[in-house]
Amino acid sequence: METYKFDALVVGGGIAGMQASLDLADQGYTVALVEKEPSIGGKMIALSKVFPTLDCCSCITTPKMSAVAHHENISLFTYCEVQAVEEEQDGYAVQVLKKPRYVNENTCTGCRLCEYACPIDLPSAFDMNMGAIRTVRVPFSTAVPQIAVLDMDNCILCGKCETACPVEDCIDFTQVPEEFEFETQSIVLATGYETTPIDAKAEYGAGKLHNVIDGLMMERLLAPTGPYGRIIRPGDGKEPESIAYVQCAGSRDETLGVEYCSRVCCMYAIKQAMLISGSLPLADVTIYYMDIRAFGKGYEEFYQNAKAMGVEFVKSKVARITEDEDQNPVVRVELIEESARVVERTHDLVVLSLGMLPGDNPQPIYRVPIAEDGFVSVPSPNSTPSKTNRQGIFVTGAAGGPMDIVDSIITAGNAAIEAAAYIEAHKNGHAAQVPADEEMELAHA
């Protein structure tokens, strides 16, 4: 069988990986984009609006997802994971595992009739477990590709999806994991971030308090496509009248091993506070913070606008969160600007601004050095911010450290330039485009 060769492998289809793929593909390089989830989009597709412009996230992300899927130089491999990478004389040999969707990718039309027929509901990971999805479903309304995926762990094999599906043999309970291989000249790591676990801090309720949520949950509550279509407390469905943010609830915290600042939390808390003020004009919003780090262009003005809108900023240290008999969170807080006076304040809803952790550890497969903070090490961040210590391997976005969307896009452009320069320097005429109709064959070889 012919070995397929790409100019670049991009690992991770969040905003950074999509942008790096597009920047490489637009220059004529062939790209294999490997994403572990059934859809590309990363964290950004689930966000409500972006700071500091308050543009709709979905409106920015969806066209990029579509451009990636339709670009003639990009071969998209979703629900796949790289298993092994071996350095060769001429680049890297890549082994990929394709997880079974139990749906035929070539024939599924994304009509969702299987989803409507399935009787088993599950918590929706896309909606941060606040909404429900079916055991077989198209991952979310703007997913790319629009192909269903079936969760065999929760399936009762009732066959209702198979009966409802209008395409013959499209639901396929016999699928098994498959492996395929290709070669690439260069690799761009774009594996993004996860947040620190919500149950990590016992003093903040260890994830057990009914109306203490995290920033990503609030993003879904604020999003037009969110689980409830409005902001309510997940504990009892009540509309909150008093909402508080606890900053650095997972960053700059030695006890969690996260000593760094996660860079985006101040800005997303301010953004969410402004969006809440728009949706619930009578609600009080308080932000308990140690420092506000509004570092980017237009960010300080954004912060000042939030203050002018009436968001209360309290310089403080939150020692503990408990709840009263009505499940209202009670915040015990030391007021730094009032001689460290300790008070207890009751709110309807508390949002923890959790820290950012690496989304993956690429060290075992790609053998790139990892920095002390756990993110991929970049030896010369000022001159070559995407270059790792291994030749031909580059990093972009939050895989290299906590980063907002603007910086993720900038580093994606940088990674694409670095990778292109590397490919040019090492080109030997082998890189060839995989025809669209053969992409699936490759994945099923």
Q: Which residues bind ligand SF4 (CB under 6 A)?
A: 103, 108-114, 117-118, 120, 135-136, 148, 150, 155-161, 164-165, 167, 170-171
Q: Closer to ligand FAD at the Cβ: 151 or 162? A: 151
> What is residue 171's DSSP assignment?
B
Q: Do the beta carbons of residue 8 and residue 44 sit within 8 Å?
A: no
Of 59-67, 130-138, 213-221, 437-445, the window that binds ligand FAD (rule: CB under 6 A) is 213-221
Q: Tokens 């939030």 — which residue? A: 306
Binding ligand FAD by CB under 6 A: which of 10, 33, 47, 306? 47
Measured CA to CA, the distance from residue 154 to residue 157 in angstroms comes to 9
Site size toward ligand FAD (CB under 6 A) is 39
Residue 10's binding partner among ligand FAD, ligand SF4, none (Cβ under 5 to 8 angstroms by kind) is none
Cα pseudo-dihedral 157, 160, 166, 170, rounded to 10? -10
**By CB under 6 A, residue 386 contacts ligand FAD:** no
Residue 191's binding partner among ligand SF4, ligand FAD, none (Cβ under 5 to 8 angstroms by kind) is ligand FAD
Residue 16's binding partner among ligand FAD, ligand SF4, none (Cβ under 5 to 8 angstroms by kind) is ligand FAD
Residue 398's binding partner among ligand FAD, ligand SF4, none (Cβ under 5 to 8 angstroms by kind) is ligand FAD
Q: Closer to ligand FAD at the Cβ: 42 or 139? A: 42
Cα pseudo-dihedral 412, 415, 417, 422, rounded to 10? -160
Q: SS in 3 state form for 21-56?
A: HHHHHHCCCCEEEEECCCCCCCCHHHCCEECCCCEE
The neighbouring-strand residues paired with 50 are: 55
Q: Do the beta carbons of residue 137 and residue 119 sit within 8 Å?
A: no
Nearest CA to 189 out of 375, 404, 426 is that of 375
**By CB under 6 A, residue 220 contacts ligand FAD:** no
Measured CA to CA, the distance from residue 154 to residue 213 in angstroms comes to 26
Chain-centre distance for alpha carbon 354 = 14
Least distance CB 30 / ligand FAD (angstroms): 18
Of 34-42, 69-77, 155-163, 327-335, the window that binds ligand FAD (rule: CB under 6 A) is 34-42
Least distance CB 378 / ligand SF4 (angstroms): 42
Least distance CB 71 / ligand FAD (angstroms): 17
Least distance CB 227 / ligand FAD (angstroms): 15
Q: Closer to ligand FAD at the Cβ: 93 or 113? A: 93
CA dist 317 to 165, 291, 334, 373, Å?
55, 10, 5, 24
Chain residues binding ligand FAD by CB under 6 A are 11-17, 34-37, 42-44, 47, 50-51, 81, 190-193, 195, 215-216, 219, 264, 268, 271, 359-360, 397-399, 403-406, 408
